[in-house]
Chains A and B, each alone.
Chain A
């Protein structure tokens, strides 16, 4: 069974603080995606990383794919209340897995208080 473990599961911080969310697996993935989901909505894609060691930046968000393509991290600088939501990592094209589906972590529920 391929699993993506996300940590922490819950995070409550004050506006302006920095934070990092981790996504780890024993499986190698061809690609890894980060989504943000708000209550009552479907996940919205933030970024896709495909190369081991790759770093992508999206404004105050920095995404990194591990060298071995088994883990990833999301770092948010100077968090704002608008960053509140459920952050999901999802792996695609894992070794031995179905070529189509994504394997999702359980998510990190982030709350940023003003």
Chain B
């Protein structure tokens, strides 16, 4: 079956521009996550959805970052007034479910969108 897809794969923006990054999760996956990966680093959590509800946005670095998943499937990460420090790979992951009791959280990642802000 199809995996997680992300578009665009590469995005170059001038400082101050707004960008929108799209994620198509695996069909039927309830949970969706966004991560930011700087060069040479591991991914860092940005935000998490369960269906259409944004349950955790504690990792969003500023109020310029906004994510939505209005119908509980496709998600969009929007960055307003981009800055050079926003340059990174933005990874989306989906998971069938998240259970606090089981503590089991197997996530499947998309290929990422590499954002370069000039």
Which A residues have a C-beta under 8 Å from some C-beta of B? 4, 6, 29-31, 33, 35, 40-45, 48, 50, 88, 90, 92-93, 98-107
What's the Cα separation between A35 and B93 when bound, in Å?
13
Would you call B66 an interface residue if the criterion is a C-beta within 8 Å of the partner chain's C-beta atoms? Answer: no
Could you tell me the distance in whole angstroms from the C-beta of B21 to the nearest C-beta in chain A? 13
Which B residues have a C-beta under 8 Å from some C-beta of A? 4, 31, 33, 35, 40-45, 48, 50, 55-56, 58-59, 91, 93, 98, 100, 102-112, 114
What's the Cα separation between A99 and B103 when bound, in Å?
8
What's the Cα separation between A35 and B104 when bound, in Å?
15
What's the Cα separation between A92 and B42 when bound, in Å?
15
The count of A-to-B residue pairs whose CB atoms sit within 8 angstroms is: 81
What's the Cα separation between A64 and B98 when bound, in Å?
23
User: Given A40-B111, A42-B91, A106-B41, do A98 and B56 touch, yes or no (CB 8 Å)?
Assistant: yes
Whether A48 lies near B48 (C-beta < 8 A) is no
Q: Which residue of B has the minimal Cβ distance to A107?
A: B42
Whether A100 lies near B103 (C-beta < 8 A) is no
In the complex, what residues of B have CB within 8 A of residue A40's CB?
A: 111-112, 114
Q: Which residue of A has the minimal Cβ distance to B91?
A: A42
- Ordered by A's residue number, 23 sampled pairs between the chains whose C-beta atoms are within 8 Å are A4-B42, A33-B107, A35-B109, A40-B112, A42-B93, A45-B106, A45-B108, A48-B104, A50-B102, A50-B103, A88-B43, A90-B42, A98-B45, A98-B58, A100-B33, A100-B56, A101-B33, A101-B48, A101-B56, A102-B105, A102-B107, A104-B42, A104-B43
